[in-house]
Amino acid sequence: MSLPIYVDAYSGYKANERPRQFELDDVLYEIAVVEDQWHSPGAMFFKVRTTDGKRYILRYDERADEWSLQSGLDGDELLARPGIELVTLDAESIRKAQACIESCEQCHPDDADIPFDWVLVEVTGKHGRFDFMLTDTVRCPNCKKPITEKTLVNFRG
């Protein structure tokens, strides 16, 4: 499980070389040291220790240019915090949301500018601190590729 976060990162030779601090729910976590880092296809992972001595694993998705907090170490504590409700969507809600999109970032990268979870907010009417979990596969009606909660889409019409 992961949670999107805002990260202020050092950029030298290339963008987002090393995280310096991250923010979650208006709380700033200063990073004292990057203890380890590794790569996977399309992503970089950083094991960091904050100034309060806690350890977290941060993931940077290079393709999507997005940071997330990964579960594990002290990250489980933040993922389990009150304030963010995890909403599991049924197949009917997922189909309603899917019907609202015309294309996705994979087939129309210049037109797709709205994260799919924003469409889910409109369909469910849940505004506030919610994170959605899809229980069924969502596919782009145009290219038929899978869509996740964070995939950028283009509204129909």
Torsion, Cα of 95, 140, 5, 134 (10° steps): 30
In this structure, the answer to whether residues 14 and 63 fall within a common structural domain is yes
Which residue reads 């090393």 in tokens? 18
In three-state secondary structure terms, 76 is helix
Same domain, 121 and 150: yes
pLDDT in tens, 109-154: 888 888 898 888 888 887 666 778 888 889 999 999 999 888 899 9
How many domains is the chain built from?
2
Q: Which domain holds residue 129?
A: 85-155
* Bridge partners of residue 19, in order along the sequence: 9
Q: Give the burial class of 112: count Cβ atoms within 10 A of its Cβ; 0-12 exposed, 13-18 middle, 19 or more buried.
A: buried
* Distance between CA atoms of residues 39 and 16, nearest Å: 13
- Pair (121, 68) in one structural domain: no
59-118 residue pLDDT tens: 998 888 899 998 767 777 777 766 667 788 888 989 999 999 999 999 998 888 888 988
Do residue 11 and residue 75 come from a single domain? yes
Residues 6 or more apart in contact with residue 128 via CB below 8 angstroms:
none
Q: Which letter, b or e, does each residue of 81-95 get, where b requires 16 or more Cβ atoms within 10 Å of its Cβ?
A: eeebeeeebeeebbe
6 and 74 fall within a common domain: yes
Q: What is the pLDDT of residue 76?
A: 77
